């Protein structure tokens, strides 16, 4: 409860504390007044009663005695004691009295006046009968009753006085108590009211302070907002400036400030068909080694300056990288004119002498020119390499140059392959194969060939296996992979499959090596040979003979890439194999293509009828995984389940 509400509550309580004692006091006064009125009524009744009874008793006693002395006759009906009047008065008083002693005395007085009446009757009857003895007895009783009535009246008056004093004391006590209540309530009300006023004063002060703080905070907020706006504007300017700087750096060479390779690529996309000439300094590394890097950078700047001054307006100049520059023109310019202009520029560059201090040097550059509609920069680079290789100084791109590049790449790959075989750097990478029907089954793996280069980089098989076949090194790759997979199976006792081509099965040396190895190996049941199903598989008899041979030693056989387009279903399914690996061309679209799904479903049903298990290759997404599982495929393999990894990673991940 906050201070404002507390103050209002205290004010209301204070008002109640003023009203309540006034109500209590008024109630006490009314009650006291009523008590006093009742007492007054009682006293008046008592006075009237005592007066009436005493007066009537002595009046009638004296009247009768006077008549008796005079000898007159007495008519009790007329002159006798009025018992009914006195009893009615006495009963009225008894009904109104609430004091036990007074009530008892009134009842006793009631009996005495009745006795007084009967004694009076006896005395008059004795007098009328001249019975002196009875008269004297009745007279004595008459006087005695009258005396006792007088005594009771006196006692009644005394009790009435006592009763009056008690009632007055009660009234005084009630008045004193009411006075105390009123006094305490008034004091409490005053205290609460003062506290309420004090709280209201505090509230006012606090509200004033809060208002001042709010105004001060608002002023500070306005200042802070202004500062933030200024900061935001400055930050936006800085961001824009930095963005411009980054964009400039991204599209310009740091040394010469000319547009760089990134800008060249973007501009070619916009322009489309272009003529491009790449200038590259000859033996610039030797220049740097001899003169030093500082003079090398100066030489690059000098060359850039020369090219900027010499470049025609129809061409754009780019500093591609290091000591390489590009001149670009749209193909709206005649190709021969562009080539001739580049020749003249090259001659000027090669004949120019550059000076730096006392040093004089000449910068010779080779040029590659291309005018193709696609891959212009790559084509110019091929022409440049041809110019340097042939030492002609300038070369124009021809499509035949690309074949030369392919030959060059193949030669390089051949060298890497021969070196890898000699250094035992052909090694298997393992990709996991998991069961889709029974998760409790242990995972299997496929051993895939990888070439580890001298710098540790990994080359995938599609880059070197075809070259290995051309160089007749493929059997060496198969042999290395086979023995390394056997070694992994022996050490880890994990099921692994290895790929064999038709060339391997047609190679008697390879077949003999495999059969001899299986003859002495203890874990043949963990080996699976995956045979690639291609259109080259025209001699099913030899293939079936190999399958029967390895299966006789306990090894398993799988048909790889089944359904890739060369399948003779009836022929292949009659072969005695353990697994069919469904080709990636079907699996990769099985979740979206109805025909692929139907084809996979058909293969699965045929395999089930023949007791052959199926493996889905290329399971690259969760959707594909769920689809092949739904279709009843037994095993799954693909990047979504795991990429091919080295032996060490395989152990860390699964064992």
Quick: pLDDT tens for 52-104. Answer: 666 666 666 677 777 777 766 666 666 666 566 666 656 645 544 567 777 77
Task: Among 251-255, 404-408, 453-457, 527-531, name the most confident range.
Answer: 527-531
Other CB atoms within a 10 A radius of the CB of residue 132 amount to: 10
Average pLDDT of every residue of the chain: 79
CB 440 within 8 A of CB 496: no
Query: So what's the pLDDT on residue 103?
Result: 75
Task: Among 56-60, 87-91, 132-136, 522-526, name the most confident range.
Answer: 522-526
CB 368 within 8 A of CB 380: yes
Task: Taking residues 168-192, report their average pLDDT.
Answer: 70
> What DSSP letter does each residue of 433-480 carry, written as one string?
EEESS-TTSPPEEEEEEEEE-TTS-EE-GGGTHHHHHHTT-HHHHHHH
Q: Which two tokens stand for residue 127?
A: 């007098």
CB 556 within 8 A of CB 612: no
Least confident span in 136-145, 191-200, 331-340 = 191-200
Query: So what's the pLDDT on residue 461?
Result: 83
CB 550 within 8 A of CB 515: yes
Query: So what's the pLDDT on residue 407?
Result: 57
**Which secondary structure element, helix H or strand E, spans residue 557, and what is its range?**
strand 556-562
pLDDT at 532 over 60: yes
The residue ranges of every structural domain in the chain are 3-206, 261-398, 409-654
Banded model confidence at residue 503, pLDDT cuts 50, 70, 90:
confident
Which one is predicted more confidently, 284 or 570? 284
Round to whole Å and give the CA distance between 253 and 341.
Answer: 25
DSSP state of 462: G
Task: Taking residues 381-409, report their average pLDDT.
Answer: 74
Banded model confidence at residue 414, pLDDT cuts 50, 70, 90:
confident
Task: Among 70-84, 176-190, 196-210, 260-274, name the most confident range.
Answer: 260-274
Task: Taking residues 187-199, report their average pLDDT.
Answer: 70
pLDDT at 492 over 50: yes
Which one is predicted more confidently, 493 or 535? 493
Q: Which two tokens stand for residue 386?
A: 């041809």
Which one is predicted more confidently, 519 or 585? 519
CA quadruple 480, 486, 487, 491: dihedral, nearest 10:
160
Query: So what's the pLDDT on residue 11?
Result: 61
Task: Taking residues 547-553, report their average pLDDT.
Answer: 92
Query: So what's the pLDDT on residue 341?
Result: 86
Query: So what's the pLDDT on residue 484?
Result: 94
Least confident span in 178-187, 227-236, 533-542 = 533-542
Query: So what's the pLDDT on residue 450?
Result: 92
CB 596 within 8 A of CB 590: yes
Other CB atoms within a 10 A radius of the CB of residue 237 amount to: 10
CATH class for the region spanning 409-654: alpha beta
Least confident span in 195-204, 305-314, 375-384 = 195-204
Task: Taking residues 223-239, report their average pLDDT.
Answer: 73
3-class secondary structure, 436:
coil
Banded model confidence at residue 566, pLDDT cuts 50, 70, 90:
very low
Which one is predicted more confidently, 421 or 149? 421
Query: So what's the pLDDT on residue 629?
Result: 95
Return the CATH number of the domain spanning residue range 261-398: 3.30.70.270
Task: Among 88-97, 437-446, 557-566, name the most confident range.
Answer: 437-446
**Which secondary structure element, helix H or strand E, spans residue 490, and what is its range?**
helix 474-492
- Tell me if 261-398 shares its fold with 409-654: no
CB 336 within 8 A of CB 286: no
CB 518 within 8 A of CB 551: no
Q: Which two tokens stand for residue 458?
A: 């990994």
Other CB atoms within a 10 A radius of the CB of residue 462 amount to: 7
What is the percent of the chain where pLDDT is above 90? 20
Query: So what's the pLDDT on residue 536?
Result: 47
Banded model confidence at residue 539, pLDDT cuts 50, 70, 90:
low
Query: So what's the pLDDT on residue 628?
Result: 95
pLDDT at 431 over 80: yes
């Amino acid at each position: 409860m906050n201070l404002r509400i507390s103050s209002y509550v205290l004010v209301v309580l204070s008002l109640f504390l003023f009203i309540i004692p006034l109500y209590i006091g008024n109630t006490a006064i009314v009650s006291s007044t009523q008590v006093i009125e009742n007492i007054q009524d009682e006293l008046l009744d008592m006075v009237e009663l005592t007066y009436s009874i005493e007066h009537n008793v002595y009046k009638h006693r004296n009247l009768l005695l006077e008549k008796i002395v005079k000898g007159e006759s007495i008519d009790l009906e007329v002159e006798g004691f009025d018992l009914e009047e006195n009893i009615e008065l006495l009963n009225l008083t008894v009904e109104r009295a609430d004091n036990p002693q007074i009530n008892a005395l009134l009842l006793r007085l009631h009996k005495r006046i009745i006795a007084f009446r009967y004694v009076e009757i006896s005395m008059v009857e004795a007098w009328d009968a001249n019975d002196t003895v009875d008269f004297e007895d009745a007279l004595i009783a008459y006087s005695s009753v009258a005396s006792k009535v007088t005594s009771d009246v006196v006692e009644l008056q005394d009790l009435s006085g006592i009763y009056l004093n008690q009632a007055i004391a009660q009234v005084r006590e009630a008045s004193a108590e009411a006075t105390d209540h009123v006094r305490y309530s008034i004091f409490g009300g005053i205290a609460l009211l003062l506290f309420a006023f004090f709280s209201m004063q505090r509230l006012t002060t606090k509200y004033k302070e809060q208002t001042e703080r709010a105004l001060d905070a608002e002023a500070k907020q306005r200042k802070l907002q202004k500062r933030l706006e200024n900061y935001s504007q400055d930050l936006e300017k800085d961001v824009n400036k930095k963005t411009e700087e980054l964009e400039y750096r991204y599209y310009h060479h740091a040394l010469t400030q000319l547009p760089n390779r990134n800008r060249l690529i973007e501009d070619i996309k916009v322009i489309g068909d272009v003529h491009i000439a790449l200038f590259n300094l000859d033996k610039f590394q030797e220049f740097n080694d001899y003169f030093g890097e500082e003079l090398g950078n100066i030489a690059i700047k000098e060359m850039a300056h020369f090219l900027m001054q010499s470049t025609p307006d129809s061409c754009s100049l780019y500093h591609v990288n290091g000591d390489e520059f590009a001149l670009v023109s749209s193909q709206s310019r005649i190709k021969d004119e562009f080539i001739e202009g580049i020749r003249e520029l090259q001659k000027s560059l090669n004949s120019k002498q550059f000076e730096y201090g006392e040093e004089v040097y000449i910068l010779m550059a080779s040029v590659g020119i291309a005018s193709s509609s696609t891959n212009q920069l790559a084509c110019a680079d091929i022409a440049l390499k041809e110019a340097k290789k042939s030492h002609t100084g300038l070369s124009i791109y021809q499509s035949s140059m690309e074949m030369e590049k392919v030959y060059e790449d193949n030669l390089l790959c051949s060298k890497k392959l021969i070196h890898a075989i000699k250094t035992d750097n052909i090694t298997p990478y393992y990709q996991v194969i998991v069961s889709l029907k029974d998760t409790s089954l242990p995972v299997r793996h496929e051993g895939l060939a990888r070439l580890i280069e001298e710098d540790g980089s990994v080359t995938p098989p599609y880059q070197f296996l075809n070259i290995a076949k051309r160089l007749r090194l493929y059997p060496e790759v198969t042999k290395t992979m086979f023995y390394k997979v056997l070694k992994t199976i022996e050490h880890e006792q994990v099921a692994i499959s290895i790929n064999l081509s038709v060339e391997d099965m047609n190679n008697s040396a390879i077949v003999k090596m495999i059969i001899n190895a299986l003859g002495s190996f203890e874990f043949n049941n963990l080996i699976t040979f995956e045979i690639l199903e291609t259109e080259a598989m025209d001699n099913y008899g030899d293939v079936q003979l190999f399958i029967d041979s390895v299966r006789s030693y306990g090894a398993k056989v799988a048909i790889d890439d089944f359904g890739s387009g060369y399948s003779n279903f009836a022929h292949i399914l009659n072969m005695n194999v353990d697994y069919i690996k469904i080709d990636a061309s079907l699996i990769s679209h099985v979740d979206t293509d109805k025909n692929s799904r139907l084809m996979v479903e058909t293969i699965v049903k045929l395999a089930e009828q023949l007791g052959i298990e199926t493996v889905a290759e290329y399971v690259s997404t969760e959707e594909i995984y769920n689809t092949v599982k739904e279709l009843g495929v037994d095993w799954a393999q693909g990047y979504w389940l795991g990429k091919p990894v080295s032996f060490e990673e395989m152990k860390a991940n699964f064992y």
